[in-house]
Amino acid sequence: MFIPENLINEHFDDRYFDVVNALDEARQIYFKNNNIFERIVEARELEMPFIIGELGFGAGRIVVSLMEFIEESGLKDVDIEYYSVELYPLSSERICSILDGFKSRVGREIKALVKEYEKIDRKVPGWHSMKIGQPFGSLKLKLWIGEALEMVSALEKPCDVWFLDGHGPKKNPSMWRPELLMAIGEKTKTGGSCSTFTVAVAVQKALKEAGFSVEKLPGCGGKKENLYALKK
């Protein structure tokens, strides 16, 4: 398969995401497998924000796909807090160029994200807040520029759900180290969950040790199975 050069993260020699069906892949692995539609409805009924954590912001493809997913659901008055982290933040130009192939489907969402992202100073470590107004409600994005464990430790509240998207464990073992996944367990609500594209045995083991029960759920595209983990 031809892989456009700008899709490769030069720090890890790995792709930011699958080239062809990355928006649908995000839906299956991160939104459907975590049942987030029903859980957003529940949070809204309790007048609570729905809190999402993500390891690996990259080009923001999951955020863009999430905006599309919630908009399509027809839900209104949704309040999402989205915490993400990036050690090597991309320029807004590179993000636009990486997401360019999705413009005809999610052009409005890409524009909304980039408009806020280009206001932050990527050279400054720590939290950067972006408020992305959406027809369905509000998406408060807080991006930590720096290392993943620092971000998880800096989180003041536990998340309802985590999207673990930190390159493959072979290419980037640091994003799957037991210490980091233990911290994810500590920053997940009881009954909360996480999911990821990898089914690596070491990841399953570390998630179990972090207090999750782990199961394999249907994958998307080239991947038959993905991991889903429920915090007990």
Ligand X SMILES: C[S@@+](CC[C@H](N)C(=O)[O-])C[C@H]1O[C@@H](n2cnc3c(N)ncnc32)[C@H](O)[C@@H]1O
List contacts with ligand X (CB under 6 A).
9, 11, 16-17, 56-62, 85-88, 147-148, 165-167, 172, 174-175
Phi-psi category of residue 133: left, alpha or beta, with phi > 0 → left and psi -120 to 50 → alpha = beta
Nearer to ligand X, 99 or 207 (CB): 99
Alpha-carbon distance 49 to 138, whole Å?
10
Closest separation in Å from C-beta 38 to ligand X:
23
Residue 232: both structure tokens together: 């007990």
Of 41 and 200, the one with the shorter C-beta distance to ligand X is: 200
Alpha helices per DSSP H over 20-119: 22-26, 36-45, 61-73, 92-99, 103-117
Nearer to ligand X, 44 or 108 (CB): 108
CB of 150 to ligand X, least distance (A): 8
54 and 113 in contact (C-beta within 8 Å)?
Answer: no
Place of tokens 């992202």: 117
Assign residue 58 a region (left: φ > 0; alpha: ψ between -120 and 50; beta: otherwise).
left
Shortest Å distance, C-beta 61 to ligand X: 3
Nearest residue to ligand X, by Cβ distance, number only: 58
CB of 139: closest distance to ligand X in angstroms?
Answer: 15
Q: Given the complex with ligand X, which of 85 and 210 has the nearer CB atom?
A: 85
